[in-house]
A and B are shown apart, each in its own frame.
Chain A
Amino acid sequence: MKVKIWGCRGSLPVAMTSAAVREKIKRAVQAAQGRTFDGEADLDRFLDQDLPWPVANTYGGSTACIEVDTGDADYILCDLGSGVREFGVRMMVEHGPTKPQTYHVFLSHLHWDHIMGFPFFPPAFIPGNTIRIYSCHPDPEASFRKQQSEPNFPVDFSVLGADIQFVPMTPGEPVSAGGATVTAKLQNHAGDSYGYRFESGGRSFVYATDSEHKQKNAEETQAVVAFFKDADLVAFDAQYSLAEAVSLKEDWGHSSNVIGVELCLEARVKHLLMIHHEPVLGDEALYRILEETLRYEELMRPEGAAPLRISSAFDGMVLSLPEESDG
């Protein structure tokens, strides 16, 4: 199983500013002073090994969209945030307009950052394609039609040429799609959200975004631990710091890195992937949070327990389960 990140950002798409690009260039040039480079591979080595990650890279700014690749011919996506545009463009390059494809989309919920990319998803315009949108919410179609109608958008939903099916799902009742068995779980979020657990070829991936963990009731916490149990990878909403999540931003529906570590350690998850990054945070700030999260895991890990691997999602990241990241 492979998991590809097309949109790691929460709430609102963002783009890197000119000032941020210049800052990275300055630091890279400074670090390169007095050095010569023997070809592109040497340059890449310099970027990967000698520059701090947030100088040589950026997290990116597209909102929620993650692809789950089971090796099946059908595609699986989690959410349709602005990141699905890039995914759709890739599909057009790979398959062109004449080879029909089937897409299985699992929707966490209908907040705008999770569906805003759909009007810009080229495969939706092409007859022959099938798009099955799985949702536990009562009427997801209404949100898609509303988003894609005047005066919100010039091209009406009814113009879309693909066969678009809305598939109702019930938490706890698994469905088979795209080579995976998928189970949903209700999460704590304004208007409700749902997490999804994907099982395929003995590997498991949990998509758990837009979920607040209030730790007020042990039963609720244990249900989350059971949902995460022994997963190879958990993509976890870590938009806020713990302090924000319990004070100023209490009931805003998001969680923190600290809670992610605690839940994943308790559930013996192998790899925690932080997602739904706060739009105001730049690359340096997000990277610092990753380092702090690694440290918290070290402090929290029970004696003798295997370390929990932790990453912070970036647009374009590819994680192969269970092998090492190639992104």
Chain B
Amino acid sequence: MQLTVERRERAVVVTPSGRLDQTTVPDFQARLLEVLDETSGSAVIVDMAQVEFISSVGLRALNIGFKKSKAGGGSLSVVALRPIVREVFSISRFDKVLAVHEDLNAALAAVDAT
């Protein structure tokens, strides 16, 4: 699992890649929470375009990040789900809990609108 962080003008974009499952999630979660600590109160967008698969532990990590960003007065949204990842979001109903956008532009537009 690789993860890059890019600070934009109105949002921080976190881009993980590979699978988000039992073996990779502890690392992903630690890095995500680190980013949230450093950028508390800002809008964080997780770009999922490079994520091939996500299981329950990955969804939990996103949810922990979501709660943390909210508590810090910021936001966390998820963008660019691949079809299989989108399916897992739908099966687990995470598409109803997390803010999911089609792509980065849509998420940035949503940040601008708030």
Measured between beta carbons, the chain B residues less than 8 angstroms from A295 are 87, 91
User: What's the Cα separation between A262 and B59 when bound, in Å?
Assistant: 13
Residue B8 CB within 8 A of the other chain: no
Contact, CB under 8 Å: B55 / A243: no
Query: What 0/1 readout, one digit per residue, does chain B (51-69) give for beta carbons within 8 Å of chain A?
Result: 0010111011001000000
**A241 touches B (CB below 8 Å):** yes
- Tell whether B93 is near chain A: CB-to-CB under 8 Å: yes
Q: Could you say which residues of chain A place their CB within 8 Å of the CB of B55?
A: 258, 262, 300
Whether the Cβ atoms of B91 and A292 lie closer than 8 Å is yes
Q: How far is the CA of A258 from the CA of B87 in the complex (A)?
A: 12
Q: Give which listed residue, A244, A258, A292, A293, contacts B56 with CB less than 8 A.
A: A258
Which of chain B's residues have a CB closer than 8 A to the CB of A256? 56, 92
Which residues does chain B contribute within 8 Å of A242, judged by CB atoms?
Answer: 56, 59, 92-94
- Per the 8 Å Cβ criterion, residues 124-157 of A in contact with B are none
Query: Number of residues in B with C-beta < 8 Å to the partner?
Result: 17
Residues of chain A at interface, number, CB under 8 A? 18
Contact B60–A215 (Cβ < 8 Å): yes
Which chain A residues border B94 with CB–CB below 8 Å?
242-243
A299 at the interface (CB under 8 A from B): yes
Does B110 sit within 8 A of A, measured CB to CB?
Answer: no
A29 to B96, CA, bound (A): 35
Tell me whether B3 is interfacial, beta carbon within 8 Å: no
Closest beta carbon of chain A to B27's beta carbon, Å:
15
Mask, A236-257, CB within 8 Å of B = 1, is 0000011110110000000011
A and B contact pairs by CB, cutoff 8 A, 19 listed: A241-B92, A242-B59, A242-B92, A242-B93, A243-B63, A243-B92, A243-B93, A243-B94, A246-B59, A246-B63, A247-B97, A258-B56, A258-B91, A258-B92, A262-B56, A292-B91, A295-B87, A295-B91, A299-B84
B interface residues with partner A (beta carbon < 8 Å): 53, 55-57, 59-60, 63, 84, 87-88, 90-94, 96-97
Please provide the 10 A-B residue pairs with the shortest distance between their CB atoms, ordered closest to farther: A241-B93, A242-B92, A243-B93, A292-B91, A243-B97, A243-B94, A296-B91, A258-B56, A258-B92, A247-B97
